[in-house]
Structure 1
Amino acid sequence: MTGLLPVADNTQVRRYVVDLFRRYPRALGGAVTLHIAAAIAGLVGPRLLGELVESLQHGGGAAVIDRLGLLIAGFVLLQSVLTRFAHLASARLGEGVLARLREEFVERVLALPLSTVERAGSGDLLTRTTRDVDALSRCVRLAVPETMIALITIVLVIGALAVVTPLLALPLLVAVPIIVCGTRWYLRRAPKAYLEQNSRYSAVTDGLAETVDGARTVDALRRRRERVERTDHDLHRTWLAERYTLFLRTVWFPVVEVGYVLPVVATLLVGGLLYLGGTVTLGQLTAAVVYVQLLIDPVDRLLSWLDELQVGMASLARLLGVAEGRSDNPEPAAEVPTPVGARIEVRGVRFAYAPGREVLHGIDLTLEPGERLAVVGPSGAGKSTLGRLLAGVYQPTAGTITVGGVPLGDLPLDRLRTEVALVSQEHHVFIGTVWDNVAMVRPGADEAEVCSALAAVHALDWALALPDGLATTVGSGGHQLSAAQAQQIALARLVLADPHTLVLDEATSLIDPRAARDLERSLAAVLRGRTVVAIAHRLFSAHDADRVAVVEDGRITELGSHDELVAANGPYASLWRSWHGERTPQDTDEPLADTDAAGARR
């Protein structure tokens, strides 16, 4: 599928797995040692059983038989104890590895630029966060230790069989071509098939999330049938992918099952002939048959869990691939110069979401420290795109944007957000207290600073009036905040974060016009001396700004103060008159005809 986040290749996955387990040498060594000890204890029983058969054949005394029986029982008990502790050690190792994987995945996700997530779609990231993490969890907890146990057991059983008599190890070779050829056929097809299956699950999740988020729009436009057909189409493609992986398993499993049943038959046949010829004893034959029989379970487990490992490796490749999406603001190879001042310069900037489809065409703009710039224009003109470029969310496809003389794209993400920050109508209230939600940008902030930030956005009074004041738990499962209150919390974070430049994209869209005006006036007082870029959808924001930039068709067509642009009698003047209801005949053909929710033309 196009647009999905990248997927790591096999070399990257193998290197990561090796490096990951190298971080736990003692835990890995302890688990392997216990499994080896348990396997060895299990191998003593068949050898003793062979001696018991020979003793019975030659009329051995009761004391010998009792001794051999007690030894067999003792080693079976020892194997059970060692197996228990081996499984516990493997479980601890698996949980440690899984915890590290999850922590690193969260770090990768949080480091993703917003533009990368928007291009890929939330469905792909959501599927990786849920389904792929779950699949990898099962793989680490069960598939890895079970595979390790099976491999150790197989090696030791074959070794024990060779010690009893090398001749009776030869019938095992009959299974080699069947198992090897069948497994190679499967492994050539399975990795790609499981990656395709997971990517199609992403498409299903993306479509469902989009339908749920836009449910009201779907209902209003009577597009239920189209959305259902889209979901059915995605599910059908997922079903086709799952059918193919099921086909691989239904071919592979029967083939390999034949492969590890044949050695038992061959050992009985060859061993019987050798016994009749006097080459091996009955005890050796008995031990060999039991050893070959013991091989069936570990080989079966190994091959069964190998399928689960393919699922886990595909999921790990998708999780590691998230890191490949961090290309918008790469970590610099050399030391980045420190920006000198807060001046932002935009020179010849062009931007396209897709090749050949430019959204912005040759933007030139200079933002002086402390200036307040309002960006206005019709929907789809490129206002929000310009704002995201100024905030460093997107990188221009041509031209440069610098802050203090340093390109925004050269700044590491953590440094970038201390220079420029974006606040939009998309906001989130985290599970925690009001205090936690505001102070998360500066965990060391004191009570006065948090209260000051809330007061700056007119949120302190209602926050203190909550059941537990600032200690009230909000977010999912906690006290429900209104959309306007949640947005005020998000704005308070920005006040506390204290970047020198703020890009406000519909930051007050969910607050009623009177409250929004009061809020923006309050912010203007608090943010005096800082640069503010406001994507203005209500014209009082433009009226209060130092300068207004009119964006039409991806270009800045007018730039100046409110009074200058009104006096120029151009597109902005027409927009201003329309917003105030003063329509004139020449306004009819003006492109600036965006109307807000209150019915005012923007």
Structure 2
Amino acid sequence: MSIQTVNAPKASSGNLLPIAERAEVRHAFVRLLLSEKRRVALAIGLHLIAAVASAVAPLLLGEIIDALGAGGSVADVDRLALGIGAAALAVLVFTWAGTFVAHRLGERLSATMRERFVDQCLRLPMPVVERAGSGDLMTRSSGDVPEAGGLFRDGVPQVTVSVLKVVVYLSAMVWVSPLLALCMLVAVPTITIGTRWYLKRARAGYLNERKAESTIGDTMAASADGARTTATYRLRPVRDRAGDDTVAGHWSAARYTLFLRSVFFPFLDGTYALPTAAVLLIGGAFYFDGAVSLGMVASCAVLTRQIMFPLDHILMWIEKVQRGFAALARVEGVSGIQDVDEGATDRRPEDGAVALHGVRYAYPGGGDVLHGVDLEVPAGQRLAVVGPSGAGKSTLARLISGADVPRDGAVTIGGVDVAALPLSERRSRVTLVTQEHHVFTATLRDNLVLAKSEADDAELERALAAVGADWAFDLPDGLDTELGGTARELDAASAQQIALARIILADPDVVILDEATAMLDPRAARDTERALGAVLEGRTVIAIAHRLHTAHDADRIAVVEEGLVAELGSHDGLIALDGHYAGLWRAWHGEFASAEA
């Protein structure tokens, strides 16, 4: 067969999450099946019985034809006809039972895969997710997981049933006439050539298509998040071009997979009539020679048609199975990322003391943001970190929380490297709160108990009161009020108060507030910080601040300039020093006083 090919488009990998190799995908596939091996065996058994029953009808039909040719009695014909009816009834019953079991099995396997994927996503190192971008992970969760789920829910049962039918029907042909069964071989060369041609190109084609979908998702998410910036700086033509480029890339990838299907399926359709024609021609010749009976020819002719239906089903499902395995490769690619707890230390922090020694850090593709920072924060102390934008304040916060790992140096909590702590231990010890908060589409109670699952209503209400969320007590259904989505959309300040209430409930040793009250107005922010100060008494608090009243209330202040701690001391001591902080304080205090007036 000579087929002109279209080159598969190249998808840019960038920093996309990895894709599992074929062996890893096969291992994951088999592992999932073995987790439900009893149900798998039951489904196969029921469908095997249905396939055997469906093969009985052609055999009995041949018996009827031979009986009529030999002058058999009406009773003999009626008996054989009743056998065909009983076989048809058995096919109906066992097919229904097998399909029911198989679909339930598929749903269970799909649910297991989804749960494992979500669990792994929640354990991904934050830098990996940020480098990949939201589009890739979003596409894998919303596109690849359902596609791979369909592989278990529909693909595996359908292909398994079809394979069983082909084996049973072919065995029946061999039992009737091994000679006529050889007629099935006429379809093998064309089916083999077409299938090999398709499979050689399909995996790469469908993976490229899924990558292109990820790129579209990333572009759409970036365009939506930056809509105001786009409008302010009149960047719509730039974003339009970016959108057009990603859509063009997806169209190219989709066109290639469409080309594969457009060649593969029509090519196969022409091969399905060949075995039946061969049985009729060769069987007719042997019939006149007396080598086979007319009933044998009829039975084998019907069986060739019965074989072609499940065989066609298998070949049609190859395309969907290829999609499913491509999606599973992307799902398993997430599972293959190094576990954040791999190599974790057994040591546990002695207290909430924070220390940075010779810390250097650079974001991918850039120079160092921090240049050998040394800083110690005793347990229970409140440290304010101030400085100009881009000085490295938020980077310090991320390193202390363990979200990022320094290029050089070490960040410890209670004498233990924070990045080496198991994820669950790190999350219980350190809480990082930024000005970006998320309210889930759920009740207010559900949004709060994320931080402490066993918290009762009284604890939840105390946490809300501590952060000044008075609006929560006026909700129509109280803690059971639905939030987010179309239920009740909260403003940024209210969402921020929910995030702060979660801190109180989580009760960590170290709290990092990275502009955590930025969405509140100055007076509300001041009141909330005072309330938090009382609640967080005794804990180590590191507050990244632009509003300098936060610094005024802190035990010590660290001034960060160009990736270094330029000044460190109390508010009064730094004012007396008359350096960077004193200048910032005078400038801010004058503006704040003007705003108050």
Q: Same fold (TM over 0.5)?
A: yes
Residue 470 of structure 1 aligns with an amino acid whose one-letter code is: L
Alignment: residue pair count: 583
CA distance in 1 between counterparts of 2:22 and 2:189 reads 25
CA distance in 2 between counterparts of 1:435 and 1:282 reads 76
Residue 501 of structure 1 aligns with an amino acid whose one-letter code is: V
Q: Runs of 4 or more off by more than 6 Å in structure 1?
A: none
CA distance in 1 between counterparts of 2:242 and 2:505 reads 44
| 1:153-196, Cα deviation, whole Å (9 max, x unpaired) | 11111111111111111122222222222212222221121111
CA distance in 2 between counterparts of 1:180 and 1:378 reads 67
Determine helix, strand or coil for the equivalent of 1:359.
strand
1:387 aligns to what?
A: 397
Task: Give the 3 Å change call, closer, same or farther, for CA 369–151 of structure 1 in structure 2.
Answer: same
- Are positions 1:527 and 2:536 aligned together? yes
CA distance in 2 between counterparts of 1:163 and 1:447 reads 73
1:516 aligns to what?
A: 525
State the TM-score, normalized to the length of structure 2. 0.94
| 1:281-336, Cα deviation, whole Å (9 max, x unpaired) | 11111111111111111111001111111111111111122223455x33336x61
1:332 aligns to what?
A: 343
1:194 aligns to what?
A: 206
1:588 aligns to what?
A: none
1:140-539 map, 5 Å: 140-327=152-339, 329-332=340-343, 336-355=346-365, 357-459=367-469, 461-539=470-548
CA distance in 2 between counterparts of 1:71 and 1:22 reads 37
Conserved in 1, the CA contact under 8 Å of 2:386 and 2:558?
Answer: yes
Residue 238 of structure 2 aligns with an amino acid whose one-letter code is: E
Residue 183 of structure 1 aligns with an amino acid whose one-letter code is: T
**Could you tell me which of 14, 24, 31 is aligned with 1:2?**
14
Determine helix, strand or coil for the equivalent of 2:489.
coil
CA distance in 1 between counterparts of 2:402 and 2:288 reads 83
CA distance in 1 between counterparts of 2:406 and 2:474 reads 45
CA distance in 2 between counterparts of 1:497 and 1:292 reads 67
CA distance in 2 between counterparts of 1:367 and 1:507 reads 20
| 1:4-34, Cα deviation, whole Å (9 max, x unpaired) | 1122221111111111111112211111011
Q: CA deviation at 1:355?
A: 4.7
CA distance in 2 between counterparts of 1:566 and 1:269 reads 105
Determine helix, strand or coil for the equivalent of 1:100.
helix
Q: CA deviation at 1:543?
A: 1.8
- Are positions 1:21 and 2:33 aligned together? yes
CA distance in 1 between counterparts of 2:365 and 2:230 reads 29
Conserved in 2, the CA contact under 8 Å of 1:332 and 1:411?
Answer: no
2:585 aligns to what?
A: 576
- Are positions 1:555 and 2:564 aligned together? yes
- Are positions 1:53 and 2:62 aligned together? no
Residue 430 of structure 2 aligns with an amino acid whose one-letter code is: V
1:589 aligns to what?
A: none
Tell me the C-alpha RMSD between the 2 structures.
1.9
Q: CA deviation at 1:527?
A: 0.8
Task: Give the 3 Å change call, closer, same or farther, for CA 268–361 of structure 1 in structure 2.
Answer: farther
CA distance in 2 between counterparts of 1:61 and 1:439 reads 79
CA distance in 2 between counterparts of 1:212 and 1:35 reads 49
2:54 aligns to what?
A: 42
| 1:553-586, Cα deviation, whole Å (9 max, x unpaired) | 322222222223333333222222222348xxxx
Q: Which runs of 5+ in 2 are unaligned?
A: 1-12
State the TM-score, normalized to the length of structure 1. 0.93
1:55-74 map, 5 Å: 55-74=67-86
Determine helix, strand or coil for the equivalent of 2:532.
helix
| 1:329-365, Cα deviation, whole Å (9 max, x unpaired) | 33336x6112222222211222222155322222221
Residue 352 of structure 1 aligns with an amino acid whose one-letter code is: A
Task: Give the 3 Å change call, closer, same or farther, for CA 169–599 of structure 1 in structure 2.
Answer: farther
CA distance in 1 between counterparts of 2:541 and 2:14 reads 36
CA distance in 1 between counterparts of 2:327 and 2:136 reads 12
Task: Give the 3 Å change call, closer, same or farther, for CA 396–323 of structure 1 in structure 2.
Answer: farther
Residue 354 of structure 1 aligns with an amino acid whose one-letter code is: P
Q: Which runs of 5+ in 1 are unaligned?
A: 583-595
Conserved in 2, the CA contact under 8 Å of 1:201 and 1:238?
Answer: yes
1:587 aligns to what?
A: none
CA distance in 1 between counterparts of 2:585 and 2:335 reads 46
Q: CA deviation at 1:473?
A: 2.6
Residue 528 of structure 1 aligns with an amino acid whose one-letter code is: E
Conserved in 2, the CA contact under 8 Å of 1:331 and 1:411?
Answer: no
Task: Give the 3 Å change call, closer, same or farther, for CA 503–79 of structure 1 in structure 2.
Answer: same
Determine helix, strand or coil for the equivalent of 1:485.
helix
Conserved in 2, the CA contact under 8 Å of 1:111 and 1:326?
Answer: no
2:131 aligns to what?
A: 119
Determine helix, strand or coil for the equivalent of 2:310.
helix
CA distance in 2 between counterparts of 1:30 and 1:233 reads 50
Residue 317 of structure 2 aligns with an amino acid whose one-letter code is: W
CA distance in 2 between counterparts of 1:326 and 1:353 reads 20
| 1:384-437, Cα deviation, whole Å (9 max, x unpaired) | 111111111111122211112211121111110111110111112223332332
CA distance in 2 between counterparts of 1:179 and 1:352 reads 55
